């Protein structure tokens, strides 16, 4: 372990893992709410939209919430068919109203039988397998299960599948891993929510994209040349040498 790099990363975590950071990051979107289900739905959309310019991501997320009357859980679970017209024409990059309407239908179906979105990722068997020996498997299983479950409705559009990644395709699953960080991590700083107890923060996988990979390689803490699921595992394993209980806190240091 390089102590100089460790110290620098810890300093960056301290700098960005603070409430002052929230307003300029997509995590500000779920922070608009206090109800658990609103936080989950708003956080999901903000995470799925999270590629490109942060200001645009935040603005598009707020636009969507306005179309949902700033009550995403109530809108998704109690809307009348005519109210879905409010969502028509919404677009953010390659995400459009076809994708959006399916997401709303999924949330309606899921919350009709479940109190939390956590169960869409972490079944009882996956949660029980959350051990020190198979941390990577826990999240890989959760993300794979979520993709299968998310597209289990009869009218699932094939075009929407590009927005919900899975480790089976080799994807880093950056946006979903970021969403899991928001929902699972919990500390005294007040940035991440820590409202899901199905899995330990120790099991989380680092959200990694081209920028984070570039920074990590420049620091000499990542050696894999591709940027894929195994790259996310390699970076997470390094971060576990710094803090085995909370490796993804270093997302705050590497994204900047």
The per-residue pLDDT for range 61-113, each reduced to its tens digit, is: 999 999 999 999 999 999 999 999 999 999 999 999 999 999 999 999 999 99
Residue 209 Rama label (left phi>0; alpha psi -120 to 50; beta): beta
Does residue 170 contact residue 176 with C-beta atoms inside 8 Å? no
Query: Which whole number is the average pLDDT over 219-234?
Result: 97
**Encoded tokens for 57:** 């991501």
Predicted pLDDT of residue 135: 63
Query: Which whole number is the average pLDDT over 203-228?
Result: 96
**Encoded tokens for 109:** 């179906």
Predicted pLDDT of residue 129: 57
Does residue 26 contact residue 58 with C-beta atoms inside 8 Å? yes
**Residue 124 belongs to what H/E stretch?**
helix 124-128
**Residue 111 belongs to what H/E stretch?**
helix 97-111
Higher pLDDT, 209 or 133: 209
Q: How far is the C-alpha of 145 from the C-alpha of 120, rounded, in Å?
A: 8
The per-residue pLDDT for range 176-198, each reduced to its tens digit, is: 999 999 999 999 999 999 999 99
Predicted pLDDT of residue 125: 65
The per-residue pLDDT for range 104-149, each reduced to its tens digit, is: 999 999 999 999 999 999 987 666 555 544 666 899 999 999 999 9
Predicted pLDDT of residue 132: 47
Reported as half-sphere exposure (CB side, CA atoms, 13 A), residue 148 has a value of: 11
Q: How far is the C-alpha of 34 from the C-alpha of 79, rounded, in Å?
A: 21
Does residue 246 contact residue 9 with C-beta atoms inside 8 Å? no
Q: How far is the C-alpha of 79 from the C-alpha of 39, rounded, in Å?
A: 18
Mean pLDDT of the chain: 94
**Encoded tokens for 222:** 């990542």
Predicted pLDDT of residue 127: 62
Predicted pLDDT of residue 126: 66
Predicted pLDDT of residue 133: 47
């Amino acid at each position: 372990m390089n102590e100089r790099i460790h110290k620098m990363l810890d300093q960056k975590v301290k700098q960005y893992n603070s409430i002052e950071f929230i307003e300029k990051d997509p995590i500000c979107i779920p922070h608009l709410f206090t109800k658990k289900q609103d936080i989950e739905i708003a956080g999901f959309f903000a995470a799925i939209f999270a590629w490109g310019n942060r200001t645009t991501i935040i603005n598009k997320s707020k636009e969507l919430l306005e179309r949902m009357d700033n009550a995403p859980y109530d809108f998704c679970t109690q809307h009348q068919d005519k109210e879905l017209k409010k969502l028509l024409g919404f677009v953010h990059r390659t995400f459009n109203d076809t994708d959006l309407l399916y997401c709303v239908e999924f949330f309606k179906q899921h919350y009709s039988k479940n109190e939390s979105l956590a169960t869409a990722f972490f079944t009882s068997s996956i949660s029980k397998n959350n051990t020190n020996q198979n941390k990577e498997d826990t999240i890989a299983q959760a993300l794979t299960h979520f993709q299968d479950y998310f597209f289990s409705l009869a009218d699932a559009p094939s075009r929407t599948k590009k927005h919900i990644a899975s480790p089976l395709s080799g994807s880093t699953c950056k946006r979903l891993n970021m969403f899991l960080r928001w929902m699972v991590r919990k500390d005294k700083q007040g940035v991440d929510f820590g409202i899901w107890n199905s899995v330990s923060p120790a099991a989380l996988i680092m959200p990694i994209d081209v920028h984070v990979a570039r920074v990590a390689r420049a620091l000499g803490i990542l050696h894999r040349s591709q940027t894929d699921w195994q790259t996310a595992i390699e970076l997470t394993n390094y971060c576990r040498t710094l803090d085995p209980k909370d490796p993804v806190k270093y997302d705050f240091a590497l994204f900047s």
